[in-house]
Amino acid sequence: MDYSDFFSERSKLLSSSFIRDILQAAKQPGVISLAGGLPDPDTFPIEKLMEIHNEVGKKKEVYQYDVTSGYRPLREELLKFLEKRGISASLDELVVTTGSQQGLFSLALLLLNRGDVAYVEHPTFVGALMPFKLFGAKSMDILNIEGIPIDENGMDVDVLEEKLRKVEEPPKFVYTIPTFQNPGGVVMSIDRRKKLLDLAHEYNFSIVEDDPYGEIRFTDDVPPSIKSMDNEGRVIYLGTFSKMLAPGFRVAFTVAPKEITEKIIVSKQAMDLHTATYGQAVIAEFMSRGFLEEHISFLREFYKKKRDALLNAMDIYFNKDVVKWVKPKGGLFTWIEVEGLNTMMISGRSAVEKYKVAIVPGAAFYLSKDEGLNMARVNYSYPSIDELHTGVKRLAYAIEMERSRGDNSSVMV
């Protein structure tokens, strides 16, 4: 049967990101991948989890359907966890989702009519663009997503303000990853966080604060979450266990005013009824034994060593007149800018085969494929320290070779 005439108009907005192709190429033997965003599997606290499995696995309730909002002991643990981080919420303001990706999907479904505009940081997390397109786009060509540039202090809220002054309709929401941005690796300054809240009040839009990386910090000098400064219920906050424990659990959480969480619950009932009970029960026990805070401290040390190894290698091998890079204070990525080189030249399949190193070209994180051409995202969480060293050495060589081949600014991506 030929299904091509059966697909919905909406489904035509779905396309696989070319990051997937790069990740595929990066799996070839001998290639060092600085492309993905995976946690290091050596961080998974398997022994402690096995200990918990032995106990939790005896409880009948963990094999049962549960309420959509999430396994109650986990939600209770999460409220305590968030309280310590300055976010006060009640049980009905928190819903557990199947990854924060599901939170993003639900929010897009609930908040965006076709033709409604969402603002995002530019560059941004590609996984957020997909649901925003799916629900907001007027057509394949008019996506109704607009980018606000970032710099070393996160989203440029002056540009946002300028734009808000000019447009007839404010966006439905502004999506931000203020702490250790993906892909930019930067942190939004406290002043900008405050200004964003002020603008949201003045122009009446909500803020979607996506915070998967906030716990992985190598310094205490990081501003509080925007949610913790919000006293109007304007911020919808997404957190996840994917990076602070293990992504295979697919357990995340959204904190928002009850009006929103109630709707997320109904949308989840249409999607998957509820997030798998077993994983939630294991995490609840992991938290109640105090293991999560310990684990987070361990992760900070662990990834700091990798961050340092990466920066050290960049310092050794990169030509500083050509390459500039962000020195991340947390998270899993850095962001580089290479003068006079379209980074597709060093990240396509043939380049990966040739140079045996993979990165994600900047264009992958922009709304139009002719932006971010000189940029690239470099991951340091997954490779070993030795691989980081060799990977950066290979990257420096690839940059040098491809730059010496002359003008490549018109390479199509």
Site residues, ligand PLP (CB under 6 A) = 37, 99-101, 125, 127, 177, 182, 210, 212, 240, 242, 247, 252
Give the nearer residue to ligand PLP in terms of CB position, either 345 or 364. Answer: 364
Q: Are strands 94-97 and 252-255 parallel, antiparallel or unpaired?
A: antiparallel
Which residue's beta carbon is nearest to the bound ligand PLP? 99
CA distance 123 to 147: 8
Please identify, using beta-carbon distances, which residue of 216 and 351 lies nearer to ligand PLP.
Answer: 216
CA angle 73, 84, 218 (to 5 degrees): 115
In the complex, the smallest distance separating the C-beta of residue 138 from ligand PLP, rounded to whole angstroms, is: 25
Nearest residue (CB) to ligand PLP, 99 versus 383: 99
**How far apart are the C-alpha atoms of 170 and 191, rounded to whole Å?**
21
Q: How far is the CB of 388 from ligand PLP (least distance, A)?
A: 19
Q: 331: left (phi > 0), else alpha (psi -120 to 50), else beta? A: left
Six-digit token string for 241: 């266990």
The 3-state DSSP class for residue 6 equals: coil
Separation of CA 354 from chain center: 29
For residues 271 and 411, which CB has a smaller minimum distance to ligand PLP in the complex? 271
As measured in angstroms, the least distance from the Cβ of 39 to ligand PLP is 10
By the 8 A CB rule, do 292 and 245 touch?
Answer: yes
In terms of Cα–Cα distance, which of 23, 47, 25 is closest to 382?
23
Task: Note the Cα 164 to chain centre separation in Å.
Answer: 25
The whole-angstrom separation of Cα 315 and Cα 325 is 10
Helices and strands: H and E segment counts in the chain: 12, 14
User: Which of 73/247 has CB closer to ligand PLP?
Assistant: 247
Q: Measuring CA to CA, how many Å separate 380 from each of 102, 119, 122?
A: 26, 28, 22
What residue type is 182 in one-letter code? N
CB 182, min distance to ligand PLP, A:
4
Q: Nearest approach, Cβ of 242 to ligand PLP (angstroms)?
A: 3
Smallest gap from Cβ 169 to ligand PLP, in A, equals 26
Q: What residues contact residue 78 under an 8 Å CB cut-off, 6+ apart? A: 94, 96, 239, 253, 287
Cβ closest to ligand PLP, residue 45 vs residue 239? 239
CA atoms within 13 A on the CB side of 287: 20
> Residue 217 CB, nearest distance to ligand PLP (Å)?
15
Q: State which residue, 57 or 248, has the beta carbon closest to ligand PLP.
A: 248
Q: How far is the CB of 212 from ligand PLP (least distance, A)?
A: 5
The DSSP code sequence of 188-212 is: --HHHHHHHHHHHHHHT-EEEEE-S
Q: Quick one: CA torsion of 379, 384, 385, 386, rounded to 10 degrees?
A: -120
Q: Which two tokens stand for residue 378?
A: 């470099």
Minimum separation from the CB atom of position 365 to ligand PLP (A) = 11
- In the complex, least distance from residue 177 CB atom to ligand PLP, rounded to whole angstroms: 5
Q: Which is nearer to ligand PLP, 129 or 351 (CB)?
A: 129
Contact between residue 319 and residue 400 where contact means Cβ atoms under 8 Å apart: yes
Q: Would you say 105 or 291 has its CB closer to ligand PLP?
A: 105
DSSP class of residue 120 equals E
**Minimum CB distance to ligand PLP smaller for 104 or for 398:** 104
